[in-house]
Structure formats: C-alpha cells, structure tokens
C-alpha cells in the first residue's frame, strides 16, 4: 500500500485511520474476548492477548494486499472498531471487507455503515477497486443490514457453509460495485 501512516479519512459518523501496532491497547483486546462482539467472527476460535493482537496488526500492516484501518467514532470520540480491506486482488479489481465494531455503545449508531462507505471511497478513488465483497452468517442480520445500507446487494447464499454453535449456518455473500463516479460522497 502506498498510503501515508498519518492519513485519515472522514465520514459523517466515523473517521478511518491506518491501524498500527501502537493502536492496540486493552480495550481492543477486550473486544476480542467479548463473546457478543466475536460471535460471528472466525477470530472467536483463538485466544487473544495484547501480544497476539499486536502481532496480528503487524502482519496485516506488512501485507501489501491488505488495508487495515481503525474506526474512530466522531460522536464518542474514540477508537470503536476496525475495518479491513483484503485480500485485495489488483488483477481483477476486487477487495473483500471485514468489519468489527467492538465497542457495544457504538452499535446501532450508523458508524459501521459510514465506515463501509468511507472504505468504498478509498477503494474507488485510491486503490482502483471496481467491486467490493463482504460475507456474513445468515443469522447476523445486523451485519447484513449494515452492508445493505452501504449499497451492497446479496449475490449468493451458500447453504450450510459455517457451523455456529455446532449447527449448520448459511453464508450470505454481498457485493457492491464501486468506481470514482459511483462512490458516495467525497473524501474529506
């Protein structure tokens, strides 16, 4: 990634910043230990501590096909989660989004949708991405709603793809096409 470490991008409810190991603190690790936060994340199968979380962020920062960003709530004035674009497939102009809002008091405020929209702007304007994808467990209606509000449409449903509490669960695959003309709003 040819993005400067001091760059941040601002939406209406959230600003995004390049996540660095120095941003990892106990609140972030607490999110990764909260069963309600991670119930639909694959990271729920791992044990997290400060050093493993720093190592993960370090790996993501080093990967040229990943853009790892922190989500800062403008209303709450703090780091409330993370959003990741990656893997990025430059050959085909594709990027996959992963999202975690770890602070529960940030849920339901439109912060996640705003973060997805800001990331779509970055993808279109700075990374030449043409299509973004995201997936979620079928029962994760909050995540599906976030992406739907951000202009994503369901492209596929993969039957019994995941196991959730030892029961088969469908995967919902969503996508949004982006380009400099269609990305919502202007980068600030």
**Quick one: CA dihedral 7, 9, 14, 18, positive or negative?**
negative
Q: What pLDDT is stored for residue 4 in this prediction?
A: 46
The pLDDT of residue 41:
84
What phi and psi values does residue 91 have, to the nearest 5 degrees? -60, -40
pLDDT 10s digits, 32-90: 999 999 898 888 888 889 999 999 999 999 999 999 999 999 999 999 999 999 999 99
pLDDT for position 167: 95
- 135-168: pLDDT as tens digits: 999 999 999 999 999 999 999 999 999 999 899 9
Q: What's 8-177's CATH class?
A: alpha beta
125 or 1, which is more confident? 125
pLDDT recorded at residue 52: 95
pLDDT of amino acid 132: 98
Q: What is the pLDDT of residue 47?
A: 84
- Nearest-angstrom CA–CA distance, 107 and 183: 24
**Mean local confidence (pLDDT), 13-34:** 95
Average pLDDT over residues 115-132: 95
Residue-level pLDDT at 179: 72
Going across the sheet that includes 167-177, the strands are 8-10, 14-18, 67-73, 78-89, 94-101, 131-137, 167-177, 153-164
Asked if 143 and 182 touch (Cβ cutoff 8 Å), the reply is no
Q: Report, as an integer, the average pLDDT of 111-137.
A: 96
Bridging pattern class, strands 167-177 and 94-101? unpaired
Output the pLDDT for position 46.
Answer: 83
State both tokens at 17: 């910043």
182: confidence class by pLDDT, cuts 50, 70, 90: very low
**CB within 8 Å of 136: residues ≥ 6 apart:** 40, 143, 144, 147, 171, 172, 174
pLDDT of residue 7: 60
What contacts 79, CB < 8 A, 6 or more positions away? 23, 27, 28, 70, 71, 72
The tokens describing 160, both together, are 């019994």
pLDDT at residue 8, rounded to an integer? 79
Residues 107 and 154: their CA atoms lie apart, in Å, by: 22
Rounded CA Rg of the chain: 16
> 74 — phi, psi (to 5°)?
-70, -40
Tens digits of per-residue pLDDT, 77-113?
A: 999 999 999 999 999 999 999 999 999 999 999 999 9
Record the tokens describing residue 180, joined without a space: 């400099």
């Amino acid at each position: 990634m040819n993005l400067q470490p001091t760059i941040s991008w601002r939406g209406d409810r959230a600003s995004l910043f390049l996540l660095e190991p120095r941003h990892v603190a106990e609140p972030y690790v607490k999110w990764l230990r909260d069963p309600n936060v991670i119930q639909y994340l694959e990271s729920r199968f791992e044990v997290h501590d400060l050093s493993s979380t720093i190592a993960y962020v370090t790996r993501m920062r080093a990967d040229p096909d990943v853009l790892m960003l922190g989500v800062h709530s403008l209303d709450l004035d703090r780091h409330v989660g993370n959003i990741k674009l990656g893997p990025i497939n430059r050959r085909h102009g594709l990027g996959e989004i992963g999202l975690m809002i770890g602070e529960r008091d940030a849920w339901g405020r439109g912060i996640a949708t705003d973060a997805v929209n800001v990331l779509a702007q970055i993808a279109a304007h700075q990374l030449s991405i043409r299509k973004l994808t995201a997936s979620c467990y079928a029962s994760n209606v909050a995540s599906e709603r976030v992406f739907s509000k951000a202009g994503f449409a369901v492209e596929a449903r993969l039957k019994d793809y995941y196991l959730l509490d030892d029961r088969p669960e469908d995967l919902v695959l969503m996508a949004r096409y982006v380009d400099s003309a269609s990305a919502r709003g202007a980068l600030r």
